[in-house]
Amino acid sequence: MPPARSLAQQLASKQREISVAEFFERNRQILGFDNPQRALLTTVKEAVDNALDACEEAQVLPDIAVEIAKEGTDRLKVTVTDNGPGILKKEISNVFGRLLYGSRFHANRQSRGQQGIGISAAVLYAGLTTARPARITSKVEEEEAAHVVELLLDTQKNLPRIVAEDLELWDRPHGTRVELVLKAKYVRGRQSPFEYLRGTAIVNPHAQLVLTEPDGTRVTYERASKDIPPLPKEALPHPHGLELGELAYHLKASRQPTLEQTLTKEFFGVSLRAARELLGTADVARTSPPGGLHGEELERLLAALHAAPLIPPTAESLSPIGPLLIKRGLRNVLGDARPDFFAPPVSRPPRVRGGCPFLVEVGLVYGGALPPDQPVQLLRFANRVPLLFQQGACGITAAVEQVDWRRYGLDQRGGAGLPVGPCLILVHVASTKVPFTSEAKEALAADPEIEKELILAIQAAARHLKTHLSRRARRDYATEKFAIILKILPRLAEKTSQLVDKPIPDLTPVITKIMDVVHVDTTSSTDAVGISLKTEITNYTPRPRVLEVFLEMPAEQFGAVRFSDVPDGIDLELGRAWWTLPRLEPNGRATRSVSFPPKTDVEANDLSWFIAGVDEGHLLGAEPLPGDWDVRLPRAVIEAAQAGREDLPSGEEAEVDYDAAEKSAHVEEEE
Amino acid sequence: MPPARSLAQQLASKQREISVAEFFERNRQILGFDNPQRALLTTVKEAVDNALDACEEAQVLPDIAVEIAKEGTDRLKVTVTDNGPGILKKEISNVFGRLLYGSRFHANRQSRGQQGIGISAAVLYAGLTTARPARITSKVEEEEAAHVVELLLDTQKNLPRIVAEDLELWDRPHGTRVELVLKAKYVRGRQSPFEYLRGTAIVNPHAQLVLTEPDGTRVTYERASKDIPPLPKEALPHPHGLELGELAYHLKASRQPTLEQTLTKEFFGVSLRAARELLGTADVARTSPPGGLHGEELERLLAALHAAPLIPPTAESLSPIGPLLIKRGLRNVLGDARPDFFAPPVSRPPRVRGGCPFLVEVGLVYGGALPPDQPVQLLRFANRVPLLFQQGACGITAAVEQVDWRRYGLDQRGGAGLPVGPCLILVHVASTKVPFTSEAKEALAADPEIEKELILAIQAAARHLKTHLSRRARRDYATEKFAIILKILPRLAEKTSQLVDKPIPDLTPVITKIMDVVHVDTTSSTDAVGISLKTEITNYTPRPRVLEVFLEMPAEQFGAVRFSDVPDGIDLELGRAWWTLPRLEPNGRATRSVSFPPKTDVEANDLSWFIAGVDEGHLLGAEPLPGDWDVRLPRAVIEAAQAGREDLPSGEEAEVDYDAAEKSAHVEEEE
């Protein structure tokens, strides 16, 4: 061993500060630049995410063009142009030429970019691999010309190095263009700019995106909605989930004179009453100056804040996609697959984690041309950005895998892992602070609170799937049973009649008695007049029925719906309409139908039909009234149902009684 | 839309620099601090990794104590004490209180810590969750007393804030102790400090590690080797895999007067001749000043460097574990499972990636009490540090999953994914720059070059497994066949003899004729005298054989081996010994055996026996000579083998001919 003196000093002499740019240059895989294909995707993604954020801040409908062109053997030139508000000249160099610099890190609201790393990392990578400067053109509305800046990122200093500056006329009121030449590889397909833009279009239907590929192919994702999502508001920090150090920081930064005022004005969800109560619990004086708190006082205050029943966070700092646009997005992307079933999208209420609100949305689609023998397709999104890499390392995947899908009708080996089936699941996590596993923002870290919400949302969507599959199975069963009975009974009757030399009797009442069900059949049709949904209720039981028919549909569609028969009641808030069928004789049939004008955002499976007045065992093809609806049924319906239940035919009575059946047979066609 | 002037300016006014500590405080999941259990593991890991690195630099046998104690309801105190060289007082605050500060980032050699983030991140997290300063005690050999520093990390500035300083007597010549109080949770089992230290002990058998758990339980991992791994040397950058920007940086930083001298003296693997040739190819003047190169000249030089056939990197900047210690480590950890088979560990030669050398090592163990119906256990290591999280996101896992294990005798659904079987695979990637997916250093990024090496190494280990399994299967088959023949033939003979009233004939030659194989049976025994391996060769063919017996074993064991019979030849370099058996009569038997003194690092399956002189179809229980050995056999062996092959008994000749068989029966016992 060498003498320790020289060694400890020797080691000390090697201690150095590491520039953050140097760090990321050496560890560029962390930023998503570890191979030419991924580097291209990351570059496109960072530029487009910035453009979308800027347009959202300016409340402009985004028009974004991405052009990828060949530049020598292993290089590509990426140009991303937007119609955002533009960047002031003095900020251009910092925004593009410096890591950890930006406007969105400190803003406590949902945005795509949050770290101030992305686009500068692309500039760093371009410089590293081709030594070519980034060229940025930006015009703000109040200036006549656009500023053009060419720059490199100096990794030793983490500062921009400007290579050239110029002014240029640009025939648009405002916008920004980034041009980068980098070592990159273009591949269409999985994990490509093509797939990224497709995913982006799904969750940003207000954006118009145009991709020009190296071979000149132009792909356009048309704007599907002209509603600009409202800019999320900056939120105050919510005390639930704050760590001690964060609380101390916020208190020190407070401009309020007292602790009580700090709590009510600089934190979210703390009413005056709550502040007083919890300061009492913590045994801290209400009038203390906020910055003076430390040690055990601070710890007691934090414990009281965590324990207090505060107002939950609101969604105003978040920008969820919303059920309507989730469905529209899915319909866009699944144009060719023609799925049987779009589950009503699930949007969970906002929750808080580490002082930041978040919420989870889930869409689910089943059937059609989706592959039945493959694991389900999972589309992951965070803050309206598709996540294309690291599916295996993502908290979203972990949540999907933890659900026991066998309970919801999908195959799943051992009740864990990705289920198998013709199914696509879209999951969106929105937060003011998304916990990514790395700076490349490709996967969510495992977080117990987000996981809990994810599982709840996924299960809710899965329950819809289960209902759909059960309904389909029941309808299949009923149809099959009908088919058999209608085929066999007449033959049996014919043969028997021949044997005993009597005429063939009318079998309708017999069929009725064998089936002993109220049968509901719902069909839908789409034509130039719009979408029509018809439900047909047949009383195949041997006694008259008084039934109540309920229709449930998205409340926002009540403006568009046309009823074939005026409902006996409507609940606009809950989205329900109902009819009473006063007396449906054995073998009698009634229909109710609704229609919507073309292009209404409604699917057949958005509407549910429920029947009251017959118990579940004698109802086929529709659901009985859900137990939690707590609806007051007309007395006649209740009585008729009870009567029906009391004298159900026993096994013996069910024996075919031709005469009796013939007597009670009486077809009543309503309408 | 608000007027653009105010908007662009408004946006500009929000642009700010982000402190790197602030960034990581907000994104602490990236550093491995996203929940109390993981935070504890990361803290222990960073402190122990630093201690091991420091001991290695000082070439001290590490003695490391980890103590985890309860401190209130949800807090733990972590104390890690080492006997490393200590840290000079002036450096303590920077090393522990500043992110991106350290001595190993710029050193181009293998070390556990490389980023200058780890332990400061633990200090940051401790301060954030408990507001308690870290307490560091450090003593260097040349000073009488230890320095004690209490500090917090100021996240706004990313600088240490010293809370207290003191001197303390410490009865050890040198060492460092870190004490941290943090929000944390102790769980034994998966992904715990317990598992981390166990893994660390496997790949650092020269370290003594003691863990004291919160309940007072003390776990000691004894030192299993007194050999301190040599300190890897700092290497010059290798030109293969350098990016343009990196080349430009190295050229600018050069102190050599000419480009030619820069290439030969400041890069690895460039001889004077190579430098001249490639400068010619690149059309750049040999005498140009290195810093003056840019643009196309620089690009041409890079292309020439990449294309030049340079000397590959050496392993001197790396610290592989080595086959011997891999096996010892596995034997340690698998004490109870008593596996049947330890594959000879595979250590691939170093390769280069992005200018940095790396190498891959693989160990594989099969059978015993390892669970037969579970996915194989995978122990991942990078630079002698166990990786416990993110298995699914790791390039090592991806490589294991890509191998078609069905070809090597393990179950694997669809030929992809983790195989199932009683098997444990250890994989170690060593590099001067390991591409981790995030700063938490839990998984390797997908990298085509590392992946290629991983797959080659895993396949090599898998081939050993395959050989083992085939051998076992063949032996089982032969044993079974023998058992049946030895049981049935005598009964048949007895019955027949009774029927015809003749004496029972000697059946040995008949058995020989039916079997028609050379049978090799290898047994091993371990006792006080050491380990003995005996191979028994029996000629159950109906003609005499001239055979050549080859023994292959690790070359380093040749010093220890004792032969029962002097070999007819030895190749020390290839680790082979061989004997010629001049004439082995039908039913004749020969044995050869070797033994090793106690505690030699050798297992029965380190030794392979091969037989030449009989074709594969007539050899049971051993392998024929591998085709790629290219060994010159004695003429007698070749001739005998050819003779044997030419007149193999046909189906008819194989009919039992009692007389002939009796005549040729003649047991010759060698030795």
**What SS3 string covers A421-451?**
CCEEEEEEEEECCCCECCCCCCCECCCHHHH
- The CA angle B425-B430-B435, to the nearest 5 degrees, is 100
Instruction: Report the distance separating Cα B458 and Cα B361, nearest Å.
Output: 9
Q: With CA atoms as reference, report the closest residue to B543 among B507, B580, B508, B588.
A: B588
Q: Out of A638-652, B127-141, B145-159, which region has the weakest mean confidence (pLDDT)? A: A638-652
Name the amino acid, one letter, at A170: W
Q: Are A590 and A581 in contact (CB under 8 A)?
A: yes
The dihedral over CA atoms of A115, A119, A120, A122, expressed in degrees to the nearest 10, equals 130
CB pairs under 8 A between A and B: 246
**Residue B88: which of A8, A34, A35 has the nearest Cβ?**
A8
pLDDT at residue A666 tops 90: no
Give chain A positions within 8 Å (CB) of B19: 100
pLDDT value of position A506: 77
pLDDT at residue B578 tops 50: yes
Residues A447 and A334 in one domain: yes
3-state DSSP assignment of residue A552 = strand
How many CB atoms lie under 10 A from the CB of residue A399?
25
Higher pLDDT, B84 or B8: B84
pLDDT at residue A661 tops 60: no
Instruction: Report the distance separating Cα A322 and Cα A329, nearest Å.
Output: 11
Structurally, chain B folds into a number of domains equal to 4
CA B116 to chain centre: 26
CATH code assigned at A285: 1.10.8
pLDDT at residue A488 tops 50: yes
Residues A84 and A208 in one domain: yes
Instruction: For chain A, give the percent of residues with pLDDT over 90.
Output: 44
pLDDT at residue B3 tops 60: no
Q: Is residue B493 part of a domain?
A: no
A597 sits in which H/E element: none
Backbone angle region of B408, left / alpha / beta, with phi > 0 → left and psi within -120 to 50 → alpha = alpha
Residue of A nearest to B241 (CA): A129
pLDDT band for B657, please (50, 70, 90 cuts): very low
Q: Best of B10, B11, B25, B139 to disrupt the A interface by mutation (most A CBs within 10 Å)?
A: B11
Q: Out of A222-236, A335-349, B340-354, B605-619, which region has the weakest mean confidence (pLDDT)? A: B605-619
What is each CA distance from B39 to B28, B183, B198, B316, in whole angstroms?
Answer: 9, 8, 18, 34
ipTM for the complex shown: 0.75
Rounded to an integer, the average pLDDT of B423-439 is: 94
What is each CA distance from A616 to A612, A622, A649, in whole angstroms?
Answer: 9, 9, 16
pLDDT value of position B626: 66
Q: Are B172 and B369 in contact (CB under 8 A)?
A: no
Q: With CA atoms as reference, report the closest residue to B260 among B247, B246, B274.
A: B274
CATH code assigned at B40: 3.30.565.10
Half-sphere exposure (Cβ direction) of B568: Cα atoms closer than 13 Å:
12
pLDDT at residue A337 tops 90: no
pLDDT at residue B602 tops 80: no
Residues A388 and A442 in one domain: yes
Give chain B positions within 8 Å (CB) of A20: 20, 100
Residue of B nearest to A108 (CA): B26
Instruction: Report the distance separating Cα B588 and Cα B599, nearest Å.
Output: 35
CATH code assigned at B369: 3.30.230.10
pLDDT band for B576, please (50, 70, 90 cuts): confident
User: Which of B468, B487, B513 is the endpoint of a domain?
Assistant: B468
Q: Is residue A236 part of a domain?
A: no
Q: Are B267 and B237 in contact (CB under 8 A)?
A: yes
Q: With CA atoms as reference, report the closest residue to A608 among A520, A526, A544.
A: A520
pLDDT value of position A664: 34
Q: Is residue B327 part of a domain?
A: no
User: Which of A312, A332, A355 is the endpoint of a domain?
Assistant: A312
Say if residue A138 is exposed, middle or buried (CB neighbours under 10 Å; 0-12, 13-18, 19+).
Answer: buried
pLDDT band for B481, please (50, 70, 90 cuts): confident
Give chain B positions within 8 Å (CB) of A102: 15-16, 18
Residues B631 and B529 in one domain: yes
Within 8 A by CB and 6+ apart from A586, the residues are: A509, A512, A539, A540, A541, A542, A543, A544, A664, A665, A666
**Residue B129: which of A14, A173, A243 has the nearest Cβ?**
A243
Higher pLDDT, A168 or B295: A168
Residues A260 and A193 in one domain: no
Tokens of A63: 């028009």
What distance in Å separates residue B94's CA from the closest CA in chain A? 9
Q: Out of A598-612, B221-235, B614-628, which region has the weakest mean confidence (pLDDT)? A: B614-628
Within 8 A by CB and 6+ apart from A137, the residues are: A146, A147, A148, A168, A170, A176, A177, A179
pLDDT value of position B212: 97
What is the domain extent for residue A353?
A: 318-468
Name the amino acid, one letter, at B576: R
pLDDT band for A6, please (50, 70, 90 cuts): low
Residues A216 and A86 in one domain: yes
pLDDT band for A662, please (50, 70, 90 cuts): very low
**Contact B23/A105, CB-based, under 8 Å?**
yes
Average pLDDT of chain A is 85
pLDDT value of position A109: 86
Q: Is residue B462 part of a domain?
A: yes
Q: Out of A242-246, A346-350, A481-485, A518-522, which region has the weakest mean confidence (pLDDT)? A: A481-485
Q: Is residue A8 part of a domain?
A: no
User: Which of B442, B468, B494 is the endpoint of a domain?
Assistant: B468
pLDDT at residue A104 tops 50: yes
- In Å, the largest CA–CA distance within chain A is 121
Instruction: For chain B, give the percent of residues with pLDDT over 90.
Output: 44
Q: With CA atoms as reference, report the closest residue to A379 among A360, A364, A399.
A: A364
pLDDT value of position A224: 80
Residue of A nearest to B100 (CA): A18
Residues B215 and B253 in one domain: no
Q: What are phi and psi of A620, to 5 degrees?
A: -125, 135
Q: Best of B5, B6, B17, B22 to disrupt the A interface by mutation (most A CBs within 10 Å)?
A: B17
Q: What is the pLDDT of residues A385-436, one digit of tens each?
A: 999 988 888 999 999 999 999 999 998 877 778 899 999 999 999 999 999 9
pLDDT value of position B652: 35
Higher pLDDT, B60 or A107: B60
Q: Are B478 and B621 in contact (CB under 8 A)?
A: yes
B525 sits in which H/E element: strand B517-527
Instruction: Report the distance separating Cα B189 and Cα B196, nearest Å.
Output: 10
pLDDT value of position B271: 92
Residues A274 and A167 in one domain: no
Q: Is residue B6 part of a domain?
A: no
Q: Is residue B329 part of a domain?
A: no
- Per residue, the 3-state secondary structure of A452-521, as one string, reads HHHHHHHHHHHHHHHHHHHHHHHHHHHHHHHHHHHHHHHHHHHHHHHHHCCCCCCCHHHHHHHHCEEEEE
Q: What is the pLDDT of residues B116-138, one digit of tens each?
A: 788 999 999 999 999 999 999 99
Q: Out of A158-167, A558-567, A636-645, which region has the weakest mean confidence (pLDDT)? A: A636-645
Residues A259 and A333 in one domain: no
**Contact B102/A128, CB-based, under 8 Å?**
no
CA A600 to chain centre: 20
Give chain A positions within 8 Å (CB) of B29: 435-437, 445, 447
pLDDT value of position A629: 65
Instruction: Report the distance separating Cα A671 and Cα A592, nearest Å.
Output: 9
Instruction: Report the distance separating Cα A27 and Cα B115, nearest Å.
Output: 9
Most confident of A509-523, A532-546, B632-646: A532-546
Q: Best of A243, A297, A302 to disrupt the B interface by mutation (most B CBs within 10 Å)?
A: A243
Instruction: Report the distance separating Cα A42 and Cα A47, nearest Å.
Output: 9
Bridge partners, residue B518, by sequence = B539, B619
DSSP code at position A375: B
A185-220 burial: b if 16+ Cβ within 10 Å, else e: bbeeeeebbbebbbbbbbbbbbbbbbbbbbeeeeee
Half-sphere exposure (Cβ direction) of A343: Cα atoms closer than 13 Å:
29
Instruction: Report the distance separating Cα B311 and Cα B2, nearest Å.
Output: 64
Residues A290 and A208 in one domain: no
Q: Are A404 and A414 in contact (CB under 8 A)?
A: no
pLDDT band for B363, please (50, 70, 90 cuts): very high
Q: What is the pLDDT of residues B371-405, one digit of tens each?
A: 988 889 999 999 999 999 888 889 999 999 999 99
Q: Out of A2-6, A188-192, A552-556, which region has the weakest mean confidence (pLDDT)? A: A2-6
Q: What is the pLDDT of residues A49-102, one digit of tens each?
A: 999 999 999 999 999 999 999 998 899 999 999 999 999 999 999 999 999 888
Instruction: Report the distance separating Cα B27 and Cα B19, nearest Å.
Output: 12
CATH code assigned at B606: 2.60.40.1170
pTM score, whole prediction: 0.77
Give chain B positions within 8 Å (CB) of A437: 29-30, 390, 393, 437-438
**Contact A433/B26, CB-based, under 8 Å?**
yes
H-only helix segments in B334-426: 395-402
DSSP code at position B205: T
pLDDT at residue A503 tops 90: no
Residues B268 and B214 in one domain: no
Q: Out of A188-192, A250-254, A308-312, B510-514, which region has the weakest mean confidence (pLDDT)? A: B510-514
Residue of A nearest to B23 (CA): A115
pLDDT band for A630, please (50, 70, 90 cuts): low
**Contact A1/B60, CB-based, under 8 Å?**
yes
3-state DSSP assignment of residue B599 = coil
What distance in Å separates residue A376's CA from the closest CA in chain B? 17
pLDDT value of position B318: 93
H-only helix segments in B269-322: 272-282, 295-307
pLDDT value of position B609: 85
pLDDT value of position B308: 92
**Contact B107/A14, CB-based, under 8 Å?**
yes
Within 8 A by CB and 6+ apart from B605, the residues are: B341, B342, B343, B344, B468
**Contact A447/B101, CB-based, under 8 Å?**
no
What is each CA distance from B556 to B552, B571, B572, B574, B629, in whole angstroms?
Answer: 12, 12, 9, 10, 20
**Contact A34/B435, CB-based, under 8 Å?**
yes
pLDDT at residue B218 tops 90: yes
Q: Are A77 and A130 in contact (CB under 8 A)?
A: no
pLDDT band for A489, please (50, 70, 90 cuts): confident
Q: What is the pLDDT of residues B62-77, one digit of tens each?
A: 999 999 999 988 999 9
Residues B274 and B197 in one domain: no
Residues in chain A: 671
Tokens of A596: 């919507």
Give chain B positions within 8 Å (CB) of A244: 128-131
pLDDT at residue A650 tops 70: no
pLDDT at residue B476 tops 50: yes
Residue with tokens 């009908």: A482
Give chain B positions within 8 Å (CB) of A142: 3-5, 8
Backbone angle region of A28, left / alpha / beta, with phi > 0 → left and psi within -120 to 50 → alpha = alpha
pLDDT value of position B644: 57
Q: What is the pLDDT of residues B272-290, one digit of tens each?
A: 999 999 999 999 999 999 9
pLDDT at residue B16 tops 90: no
Instruction: Report the distance separating Cα A136 and Cα A177, nearest Å.
Output: 6
Output the DSSP codes for B613-650.
Answer: SS-GGGEESSEEPPGGG-----HHHHHHHHHHHHT---
pLDDT band for A456, please (50, 70, 90 cuts): very high
Rounded to an integer, the average pLDDT of A572-586 is: 85
Q: Are B361 and B457 in contact (CB under 8 A)?
A: yes
Tokens of B117: 């983030």
Q: Is residue A651 part of a domain?
A: yes
Residue of B nearest to A89 (CA): B12
Average pLDDT of chain B is 85
Q: Are A199 and A428 in contact (CB under 8 A)?
A: no
